[in-house]
Chain A
Amino acid sequence: MIAEELPKIAAQEQEDQLQFKHHIFVCSGTACVSAHSDQIQAALEKDIEERGLGHVCSITGGGCRGLCASGPMVSVEPQGILYQGVKVEDSAEILDSLNSQPVKRLECSTEAPFFSRQKKIVLEYAGKLDPERIEAYIAAGGYTALLKVLTEMTPQQVIEQITRSGLRGRGGAGYPTGLKWSTVAKAQGEHKYVICNGDEGDPGAFMDRSVMEDYPFKILEGMTIAAYAVGADQGYVYVRAEYPLAVKRLKAAIRQAQKNNLLGNNIGGTTFNFQIDVRLGAGAFVCGEETALIASIEGKRGTPRPRPPYPAEHGLWGCPTLINNVESYANITPIIRNGTDWYTAIGTEKSKGTKVFSLTGTINNTGLIEVPMGISLREIIFDIGGGIPNGKHFKAVQTGGPSGGCIPEQYLDISVDYDSLLHLGTYMGSGGMIVMDETSCMVDVARYFMEFCMSESCGKCVPCRVGTAQMYDLLNKITKGEASLDDLAMLEELAEMVKSTSLCGLGQGAPTPVQSTLRYFRDEYLAHIVDKVCPAGVCKIYHHAEVFS
């Protein structure tokens, strides 16, 4: 394909779509599929066929709408009707209503704050794009950014634009993306590689999974632009094998992109060549760490190595390698298409754009959201998230997964950006947000995350391998009401040591949940240790009298 053909494909697809009066999208994200949305789609397809509506009504799978807890979701476009909690039996009624009033019983208001307070850049066209057809993506404006880059911009100009956009890595640390790209571009090497980190191992996180499932072409396009900018000829998407749907969609997308000459040799009729392959991870959390991920792609045991040298200089097979997170790549095409002025207008001074979060825990609207940086936690939890269910009271929100910390009620009004979160002793992380009410015991929460880090530690370095196990034992002792104040002092000493001496981010971050809960909820630790009670009533503490009575 050459650049001129792209608008033709788009026009053809738009024309095809115009033949239909209605487009039904059935959410095909993992959460809705597990609630049998695939059967609903089959039922709708069958009924459309039986009623002979095939020429007026199209039906396809669509992306996640975010309200995963209310799934399966079905939408009817262009009327903009959204249905929630749909069942197979509802098929007939939905079709009956196509030309009259929507089915009231199933309707889900798209005016609700859950939708209106969000800002969708990564998740643009949410729900209204067939993730399995490149034509649909092209019709929605896909690949215009790549062709613009290849035909109108030098690699240097691309890097400049990404740098000026202020985009920071969405994989956790918030490293400036433009700076990383320019380092890889300047590094010397016969080959260079581009890697997309789709390992997503944080418990409770599913942002990257959704983005890979719903926008596989967008990620490929972002990676291809990155490859052009840094001078790479081969790319890898590293996805955990527990994400079969994401793997399937990515592989299908790669085939379609190749067929349309948007991957492979002479992309878009230019002299630029770039290939992408999918590599599966076996689900070890540590394989999300960039050097361990690279070892894993090389077929070695997935363990981190000391940096420097950084992958930008010495990465895959010893070559300069660009490694970015899924969501980072998903931001690239909007930035190229809409320009840096548009992008820098969103977010805060030092954190530009939006962030996707998976909202879980004790919250009404569990699901996937995208919000502008700088929004307050209160807006996320109470407006978008709909607050705490069952009349319970908000206690804390945990961000940053097992390397992050919790934020108590008094800081609900802080702005959500990289620096404010760091200031509160937690960090942005990849976007997990776990909301807790008064029925959560913070010591138990710390113990849970420590258990996770202990069992996910790769075992290479001593502080993390043994230190996490010792801290876990101490936390266990506290939750059983068997610990002394000396144990608490030891726990704090270990936390400080493991943080400062571990080799990689897993060990360095493992003490954070402990340190953070101690910072805000020290009284709960003391209640377990001194008074031998768990204030939240979560931990089972047996007293001698009970045991012997």
Chain B
Amino acid sequence: MSRVVTLKINDQDVSGREDETILELARENGIFVPTLCHLEGLSDIGACRLCLIEIKGVPKLMPACVVRAQEGMEVYTESERLKKYRRMVIELLFVEGNHVCSVCVSNGHCELQYLAQKLGVDHIRLEYRSPKREVDASHERFVLDHNRCILCTRCVRVCGEVEGAHTWDLLGRGIQSRVITDLNQPWGDAESCTSCGKCVQVCPTGALTAKGKAVGEMTKHQGFLTTLALMRENDR
């Protein structure tokens, strides 16, 4: 059993268990912390760096999605420095791919777009990379548009950890990284794919969508993940 501890987030006293993350505690207490790679029900990888927080006595910034509660911890989530870094992460994501909201099926339902608005990213100061990227429409029901992929790897994790198919993975490294299906085959030829559609639902942007949607029509439903996670926990 985990111990119960008390700590401070933005000078507010909160209580939690030692196995809970700072992100969970913040949300429980109505404190907003932006996230992109995190999704409840999937493992946490600390990759997008949006949820970085300051902890008193710790020289480095830490991701709230992986750091666990400790007795007496003093956490700050809203310093000017953190806010600036978060805006820059969003900026970097915008210049990395080709994100054109006005023609996107996910317009209005996109987590990247939402966070940009919420964090006050109203213009981009960096140079757009405008990479040449492909669209894979070989699957009979779904589409993968690499232009809109932010490499959060939620699809990779939901497919491996929840569906158990492990159709998705990553290829290449650095700025050349991209998601692939099976052994870098067209999605339609990926034999391991069960066409369950979980990847489409967890994708935060319009990179993975259902076919036949017009601009702004693609809405996503992620509630199934928490239900599944809960059911599995009860099973154990």
Contacts and interface: CB of A to CB of B under 8 A. Distances in A.
A457 B89 contact: no
Contacts of B93: 462, 466
Contacts of A501: 49, 52, 61, 85, 89
B42 interface: no
Nearest to B125: A490
A468 B68 CA distance: 29
Contacts of A456: 173-174
Interface in A459-484: 459-463, 465-470, 473
Contact of B127 (A460, A467, A470, A500): A470
Contact of A468 (B84, B129, B174): B174
A459 B89 contact: no
B46 interface: yes
A461 B85 contact: no
A454 interface: yes
B192 to A, nearest CB: 17
Nearest to A469: B175
Given A462-B92, A465-B151, A502 B49 contact: yes
A301 interface: yes
A448 to B, nearest CB: 16
B81 to A, nearest CB: 8
Contact of A459 (B60, B81, B84, B173): B173
Contacts, number: 93
Contact of A305 (B46, B92, B169, B173): B46
B85 A497 contact: yes
A305 B45 CA distance: 7
A455 B174 CA distance: 6
A284 B176 CA distance: 14
Question: A-side binding surface: helix, strand, loop or mixed?
Answer: helix
B172 interface: yes
Nearest to A459: B177
A457 B170 CA distance: 14
Contacts of A465: 96, 151, 174-175, 177
Interface string A434-465: 00000000000000000000111111111101
Interface residues of A, number: 30
A527 interface: no
Given A459-B170, A466-B93, A466-B96, A500 B177 contact: no
A503 B49 contact: yes
Contacts of B61: 500-501
A463 B174 contact: no
Contacts of A461: 46-49
A457 B175 contact: yes
Contact of B48 (A462, A490, A500): A462
A462 B85 CA distance: 11
A497 B89 CA distance: 9
A459 B45 contact: no
Nearest to A286: B173
Nearest to B170: A301
B63 A306 contact: yes
B217 to A, nearest CB: 28
A473 B128 CA distance: 11
20 contacts: A284-B173, A306-B45, A306-B62, A455-B174, A456-B173, A456-B174, A457-B175, A458-B173, A459-B170, A459-B174, A459-B176, A462-B47, A462-B93, A465-B151, A465-B174, A466-B92, A466-B175, A470-B129, A500-B85, A501-B85
User: Sorted from nearest, which 8 A-B pairs have the closest CB atoms?
Assistant: A459-B177, A457-B174, A306-B46, A466-B92, A469-B175, A466-B96, A459-B174, A501-B49
